[in-house]
Structure 1
């Protein structure tokens, strides 16, 4: 099973959901997906003994069927990581994969086709990515009532299949021209 393979390779972190939906053979995952593994710790030969990941698709949601990713969602801090995501996981993406990716450093929504998959890119400002996704897809909390965490991901996938943003399809090079500088406010803790 694909998620078991990812788990064994240390590609799943901060896991919130990892299990089968009510549909046999369909699995859902929510958590962080590793894009670039950390370097091996000094003096080790164990490939799982690594420093923390260098890059993640954070707050991701995946739906897997027949060991192929049918739905992928999450947050990239920079558009430059999209080709890294594609390169790492392209062999596992279904031909009809639905990809809705939030990106912190883009100024407007757009779509980019890479390796045959259309990535619908959505500017991200703040908030929980899962909640932002539900809002974007017009899924009400009542629509999810009584569902397992895995089935909630399946519901998001079903709605995402019909999602047609009013954004243009551009080349990745054109998309890079629409990046912005992200300024984060410093958080102040207790004194």
Structure 2
């Protein structure tokens, strides 16, 4: 399974689950965009330098069909492609929630059209099911991976909003925003 390979390479971080169901495999958690340096003589690594947070990834026959996550900074987008593009299916749907943009964009990079949506706070899963026009009742009795398959199928005719721009064009549209943090009330 694709996610087992990622785990062996140390690319899974803060994993919620990885699960297979038929020809599908699903993962939720963070994915590493830059491995931490080796920290000791036994080869244990320090925490990753950068990650894409709260990813929701669905693979079918070891090819990624749905790739969703949150980037703190748009400058990390090329690292997503460096690490994961070789595993993307030709018809992959990529939806990224980016902290430092304030208007939706469709970024053309590496032969892909990537939906980028500004989001400083909120839950990726909730935002994604809103995009798919689903509600909690649509997931009754489903396993974690089946829920992601349901979202993927509901996104079948999803058309991202926003101006189509190159990555360089998108970089001119970033804003000075950071992820909203919440502490104890």
Structure 2 equivalent of residue 151 of structure 1: 146
Displacement of 1:183: 4.5
In structure 2, distance between residues paired with 1:2 and 1:96: 17
More displaced stretch, 136-145 vs 53-62: 136-145
Could you tell me which runs of 5 or more consecutive residues in structure 2 were left unpaired when the two chains were aligned.
none
Displacement of 1:186: 6.6
Runs of 4+ in 1 over 3 A off after TM superposition: 183-190
Matches within 5 A, 1:1-191: 1-21=1-21, 24-41=22-39, 43-44=40-41, 46=43, 49-183=44-178, 189=184
Number of corresponding residues: 185
Q: 1:95 to 1:186 in 2, by over 3 A?
A: closer
User: Alignment partner of 2:155: what SS?
Assistant: helix
Displacement of 1:168: 2.1
Contact map agreement 2:72 2:179 (CA 8 A) in 1:
no
Contact map agreement 2:120 2:179 (CA 8 A) in 1:
no
Could you tell me which runs of 5 or more consecutive residues in structure 1 were left unpaired when the two chains were aligned.
none
> Which string of whole-angstrom CA distances, capped at 9 and with x for unpartnered residues, describes residues 149-190 of structure 1?
111111111122321123221111110111011145675558
In structure 2, distance between residues paired with 1:187 and 1:163: 31
Q: 1:185 to 1:116 in 2, by over 3 A?
A: closer
CA RMSD, aligned part only?
1.6
Displacement of 1:91: 0.8
In structure 1, distance between residues paired with 2:112 and 2:150: 21
In structure 1, distance between residues paired with 2:118 and 2:30: 19
Contact map agreement 1:96 1:117 (CA 8 A) in 2:
no
